[in-house]
A and B are shown apart, each in its own frame.
Chain A
Amino acid sequence: MTTQALSERSTRGFWNSAYFLGELRRSWANCLLYFLAYFFSLVVPMLNDLSNFRTSDFYDTFTTGTIRDLDYYIPALYVVIAMIAAVWAGIAACGYLHKRISAYHFHSMPIRREGMLLVKTAVAFADFIIALIPNLALAMLISGLMRENVGVLLILGLYCLFGFALAYAFTVLCGMVCGTRSFHVIFTGIAGFIGTAVLCAVYLIANTTCNFLETDYLVGGGELLYYSSPFVYVIGKLENDGILSPLAILVLCLLTILFFAAALLLVRIRPTEGAESPMIFKPVGTVLKYAVMALATVLLGYFFQEIFGSSDFWLLFGMVSGAVLSFMLMNVLIHRNARKMFSGLIGLAVFAVVFTGSMFGIDGWFSYKDVNGYDADQIESIRIGDHSRHQFTLTSPEVIEAVVAFTDGYFTEHNEMIQIHENASYPTAQLYSIEATPVDTIAVSVDEMTIAAEYRVASIDARTIYITQTTKWGTSRTWRLNFDQYKSLDDITTALCRAVADSDEFAEQYIAMVMSTGGELCANIHFQEKGGDVSRYDYEEFVANSPSYKAIEKELRSQISYDFFQQRIVAYAGLSIDGSNGLHLWFDLPVFESQTALLAATGETRTPEQIIEDKLADREMTLVGVYRDPETGMLLDSATVEGEAAAEVYRSAANVLNSRDAFFLTRLSRSYVFQSPEKGFTVNFIEGKVPQAVIDLFAKN
């Protein structure tokens, strides 16, 4: 197409191909930058894997082309790179608007303002796509050489493109309300994460207010944090889940379109003469100013309190300093004039009143929630656990009533104690010194539950139980009961356990878990899938005095001990073998609600008992665990349990299994090998993708 022909098209005003091509040629440096970022973060590590792949026979054996999924590629990292590239590109795209001379030049040219933005957007996307495609192609080639699934790379590419689009649209929208490049950068950062910062500020207030109410959900990886910013959502979800749901993608796509549409609207009404003034639209500057002031007030207040002491004076000092300093700073930035530092003092006064009111409001709200649980008749279920992980879910009215009564008493009693010791450091030295004494095993017998623990001072959380109450309307609150703060550990724990264990519902749902750390080998049917973390030693406190316990009591004294937890629902349990060399073998085993369900699921014709017997008869059984570097997938080590030791494992399992008609060990569905303190690596095979060779080894005669 000739220049003349291309120029003819410029008269349409929304697009100019010649200009697009010219800009694309001029932006080769950006393209190269993006290319290098992906080359070194994606392609080079894969080349390293390819090198390992060629030198490891074992890896060769166990690579089946299905081990790797999107998680392998750390999608969050590549999306973050895409977002950084998008912010860079967005700032560059708006650059012409932020200098008076260039804004005048381009706005005098025969193209609509929206058209100019569209061309620059097209250039930004073209740069990114041109940089991404060769990297993805190389990655696919390497992946193919390793007989891996190349399809996930396409998904990865789409995620990157999606992240780029979201961040670009947002950055450009921010650029439309700013008149200088530096303010554009500042504003994009603040606007992008203002929700997250506000949430963190509320968390700070809540955390210092609440003695019992669990507030970590605000920032502790809870869903609420994700919703504070689209960027936090995308990065957080990809980091933790490795994938975005279709609904989330749809919503974020709509958000991207909304951002860009708003940018197109603003570029049209944005006055050109506003170039080189920080904020084009005055109200936006005002909102930004007071948002920053609110955050600075909270953060500096708690910073001073943290640094200089826990007194209210330093909190107040920090807050006043934060408000005034940020007020002055924002005035200077917005007006670009140091003399305007104190402009709008009435606004500062109004802010002080509103902020103080808000502080009292938030403080009062959390204070109220802290010691006021739901009424028992509002509660639908109660979960009891450690941290945010729950183990027991109870729904019977009598249990709920008992737990509510218990917590009410706890709040009242300990609030009084906190009031008494409010001037002392927390926890008081006196109380802490009592608890600091290492305690050997404590066993508190209740009718149906024995609490055993090996407490060590280092783990305060070990003595914290979390109770989550969920109402009929789906709202929930979690309270933490810190048994480590006061000497009344035994009484309180016993009281809570009694409240729970006395109920029929608990007896019906749960049987005891037994664990011993004394044995060289430990068979552990875990309940990680249900939220429990048996790798934490504090879970050992839940030891049951149940028929199952009685059945295996003898083994507890031997060199082999067992850990057992069961729920009457379909789930995965695990088999863990702790080696004397510090290695752990961990196999996940399916748990079925009944033998009928098991047989229906597997097509097995033998009864569970027969299968166990068959396995026990086979003294040549071998359990194999493999140790693989999670980053490279390279085989590091392996361990084998065979012969009598393996048979012992199965026999012990059979003792437990036969005592309850609830679950059944059938086949190796997962294999985990992890947490070697000596080697420091974590490896897993994903469910359903265990190499057949491992399964064969496991069942080898």
Chain B
Amino acid sequence: MIQINGITKTFGDIRSLDKISVTVGDGSIFGLIGSNGSGKSTLLRILCGIFAPDEGTVTFDGQPVWENPALKGEIIYLSDEQYFLPASTLYEMRGLYAAFYPRFDESLYCRLCDLFGLDDRRRLSTFSKGMKKQAAVILALASCPKYLLCDETFDGLDPVMRQLFKRLLVDAVAERGMTAVVASHNLSEIEDICDHIALLHRSELVFARELDDLRGEIHTVQAVFDGEFDPTTLRYPIVRCARRGSMVTMVVRGEHDAIEASVRAAGAQFCELIPLTLEEIFISEMEERGYDYTSLI
């Protein structure tokens, strides 16, 4: 279990994280989403011991991560920018990872190379951006970490490789009980695999919830009213509301059945509730905090 307690991190005058507290359960895939510059990458770098927090603590199963090589042997950080030794091949990088990570699995490494179709004797400098990402994924997964921290890992991967990576990630969680923290702006990709989601905005934690709970708490309501519809008659908070003719589309917080009953009670001739996608939830949450593109244009 990863326990993050009151983490604060500043860079000069800029506060990157402000009293963040989250708990990540074992064997889960934890999605980290947020606006640009909200501190996702910083949080991941603190989690893997690159940065020391100014305040707060990070523990993995009760152990602090900062300068704890034994614990860091269980953690792999998949950075958004891959680092490879100068003029090295994937095979040589395998040696580096094998030197540091006690559970590095040679056979898994070979299998992953075959799966991704990479020539591990070819210089990494000749790889494309996506291939470099694949190489990093191979090295990370072959190290068999207990904790995998991914920062924008889907970026640069083609759709097939994205699916492959997601499959491998889920398998690792299912088979080895690995815990993954995935930070991404590609919400549709992590929506499929994450159990939990944390949303960061302007250095602060907006929420950290189970994805299913989150989905059950906010809905898109499409309803047809014969006459006028007064949104204030609904007993649930409306995040967004738009009317086109007799049809009203709303994003409403609340339980599914209760919202439907309330809408019908308000005189709807037709009412349908659609669960929001993660991206829609993200946008809705951001809109509530004044972070929507209409306010920017």
Contact = CB atoms under 8 A, between A and B. Distances in A.
Contacts of A26: 85, 92
B99 A272 contact: no
Interface in B20-73: 45, 48-52, 67, 69-73
B100 interface: yes
Contact of B99 (A22, A104, A107, A108): A22
Contact of A7 (B45, B51, B101): B101
Nearest to B88: A26
A499 B73 CA distance: 84
Interface string A85-115: 0000000000000000111110111111101
A112 B72 CA distance: 10
Contact of B81 (A6, A16, A101, A110): A101
Given A7-B98, A7-B101, A101-B79, A107 B49 contact: yes
Contacts, number: 90
Contacts of B83: 101-102, 104-105
A61 to B, nearest CB: 56
| Most chain B Cβ neighbours within 10 Å, of A11, A22, A109 | A109
Contacts of A112: 67, 69
Contacts of B82: 101
B85 A16 contact: no
Contacts of B99: 3, 6-7, 10, 16, 18-19, 22
B101 A22 contact: no
B102 A109 contact: no
Contacts of B51: 271-273
A679 interface: no
A114 to B, nearest CB: 9
A103 B48 CA distance: 13
Contacts of A7: 98-102, 104
Contacts of B95: 3, 18, 22
A268 B52 CA distance: 11
A360 to B, nearest CB: 39
B77 interface: yes
Interface residues on B, range: 20 to 34
B75 interface: yes
Contacts of A3: 95, 98-99, 104
A582 interface: no
A104 B101 contact: no
A272 B11 CA distance: 11
Contacts of B85: 26
Contacts of B104: 3, 7
| Most chain A Cβ neighbours within 10 Å, of B52, B69, B92, B104 | B69
B102 A19 contact: no
Contacts of A110: 69-73, 75, 100-101
A413 interface: no
A10 B49 contact: no
Contacts of A107: 49-50
B96 interface: yes
A433 interface: no
A13 B72 CA distance: 10
A3 B76 CA distance: 19
A273 B11 contact: yes
Interface string A11-28: 111001011001000100
Contacts of B102: 4, 7-8, 10-11
A7 B144 CA distance: 14
Given A104-B45, A105-B83, A16 B50 contact: no
B50 A272 contact: yes
Contacts of B50: 103-104, 107-108, 272
A521 to B, nearest CB: 70
Interface in B91-128: 92, 95-96, 98-102, 104
Given A104-B83, A108-B48, A113 B67 contact: yes
Interface in B184-220: none
Contact of A18 (B75, B76, B92, B98): B98
B72 A108 contact: yes
A245 B49 CA distance: 46
Contacts of A18: 95, 98-100
B48 A22 contact: no
B96 A13 contact: no
B69 A111 contact: yes
A7 B50 CA distance: 21
A13 B70 contact: yes
| Most chain B Cβ neighbours within 10 Å, of A3, A11, A105, A110 | A110
Contacts of A11: 69-70, 73, 102
A18 B71 CA distance: 19
Interface string A656-673: 000000000000000000
A11 B99 CA distance: 10
A286 to B, nearest CB: 16
A271 B99 CA distance: 25
A567 B122 CA distance: 79
Interface in A545-569: none
B69 A12 contact: yes
Contacts of B52: 271
A101 B67 CA distance: 19
| Most chain B Cβ neighbours within 10 Å, of A10, A12, A268 | A10
A301 to B, nearest CB: 36
A272 B76 CA distance: 17
27 contacts: A3-B95, A3-B99, A4-B102, A8-B102, A10-B69, A11-B102, A16-B99, A18-B95, A19-B100, A22-B95, A26-B85, A26-B92, A101-B83, A104-B83, A107-B49, A107-B50, A108-B45, A108-B48, A108-B49, A108-B75, A108-B76, A108-B79, A110-B69, A110-B100, A111-B69, A111-B100, A113-B67
In the A-B complex, the 8 residue pairs with the closest CB atoms = A13-B69, A18-B99, A105-B83, A110-B73, A110-B72, A108-B77, A110-B69, A108-B48
Given A108-B76, A110-B70, A112-B67, 15 more contacts: A7-B99, A7-B101, A7-B102, A8-B102, A10-B102, A11-B70, A18-B95, A19-B99, A22-B99, A26-B85, A109-B72, A110-B101, A272-B51, A273-B11, A273-B51
Interface of B: 11, 45, 48-52, 67, 69-73, 75-77, 79, 81-83, 85, 92, 95-96, 98-102, 104
